[in-house]
Amino acid sequence: MDNLDTTLDGLKFDAAGLIPAIVQQDGSGQVLMLGYMDREAVRRTLTSGRVWFWSRSRGEYWRKGDTSGHVQYVKAVAADCDADALLVTVDQVGPACHTGALSCFDGRGLPALPGANTPGAASVG
């Protein structure tokens, strides 16, 4: 078994065989989108320099940008402490969102009451 298989074996996929992947722009830190990968999409993402997803709606592999031209070049990939989520740092070409927005979260704020870091609370680490 090679190192890549060992890496993939270390990830936890859900009942549908998927793991959520947060995609973040390198440098700016902007969160661009959340997609889903199966084991093969993770393998392709780790080895090809391009971000691959499993499209739940279309039921097929999806190399981001093949249709739109809005390619995501892989800069780094990390798993989380439970190995059931991925953070993919990318160079995004053009907008990440199919609406033309740079991020899928742009302009979609929900009404939220902000919380306050009150005096006496532990300092932000």
Kindly identify the residues of this chain, within the stretch 30-59, that bind a second copy according to CB under 8 A: 30-31, 33-34, 45-50
For residue 44, the minimal CB distance to a second copy (Å) is: 10
Interface with a second copy, residue 69, by CB under 8 A:
yes
Is 119 a binding residue for a second copy by CB under 8 A? The answer is: no
- Name the residue among 33, 39, 43, 107 with its Cα closest to residue 70: 33
Which residues have CB under 8 Å from 52's CB, separation 6+?
A: 37, 40, 41, 42, 44, 45, 61, 62, 63, 64
Q: How far is CA 63 from CA 9, 28, 41, 60, 113, in A?
A: 22, 23, 9, 10, 38
Closest approach of a second copy to the CB of residue 16, in Å = 9
Minimum distance of a second copy from residue 23's CB (angstroms): 10
Six-digit token string for 2: 């090679």
We find the least distance from the C-beta atom of residue 105 to a second copy, in angstroms, to be: 4
CB of 2 or CB of 60, closer to a second copy: 2
Report the residue number, 60 or 68, with the smaller CB distance to a second copy.
68
Strands 31-37 and 72-79: unpaired
Residue 50 vs 61, nearer CB to a second copy: 50
Strands 52-55 and 60-63: antiparallel
Q: Which of 59, 114, 119, 120 binds a second copy (CB under 8 A)?
A: 114
